[in-house]
Amino acid sequence: MNKFLDNINTAEKNIKTADHLIYSSFPLLKDKRILIKAIKEINLAMNHLINSILQYEFLKKKVKLFKDPRKNFKTFVEDCAEEYGITNEEITKIIQTSEIAKKQKESPMEFIRNKKVIIFSTEMDPTQIEIEEIKELLLTTKNFLKKTKDKMKLLFTP
């Protein structure tokens, strides 16, 4: 039963780390690796929150879990998102974050130019992410955490 709570706690840590990287470390150091790490932390937080919701709903016997993460994400979108107040726009940002993190992982090269992180695919197709977009993704993740905790509020009261 504690696995979904562990996921929420881990997501909170990921969000705090990403927030610190974006608002404290990056302005001082201006290193692209800081923004890349922030994107990874945001993606991890979103994944932990989705897993937490799925595990919680599984315990309540409302959803079925699969070994395939794509099927689990589909279950989240179709069966859980609306109940937790997750909008289509937020789902789009979750998918966007996941795609950016995947592209970065597979990327042979990335750099920062004019307040944009530019990630090249293996075919040298560039993806540009502005710092403001990363901040928006972080804000979406914070809202996602709040909605998740609000829905599970009975578990967090002493």
Residues forming a β-bridge with 137: none
CATH code: domain of residue 151: 1.20.120.330
For residues 84 and 147, the answer to whether their CB atoms sit within 8 Å is yes
Residue with tokens 């881990």: 10
pLDDT value for 97:
96
What is the domain range of residue 69? Answer: 3-156
Helix axes 3-20 and 32-59, enclosed angle (nearest 10): 160
pLDDT of residue 8: 95
How far apart, in whole angstroms, are the C-alpha atoms of residue 2 and residue 11?
14
- How many other C-beta atoms are found inside a 10 Å radius of the C-beta of residue 50? 25
Q: How many domains does the chain have?
A: 1
> Which pLDDT score is estimated for 122?
86
- Residue 101 CB burial class (10 angstroms; 0-12, 13-18, ≥19): buried
Say which residue the tokens 């993460």 belong to.
Answer: 69
Q: Chunked in runs of 10, what are the mean pLDDT values of the chain (158 residues)?
A: 89 98 95 94 98 95 95 97 96 96 93 89 92 97 96 69
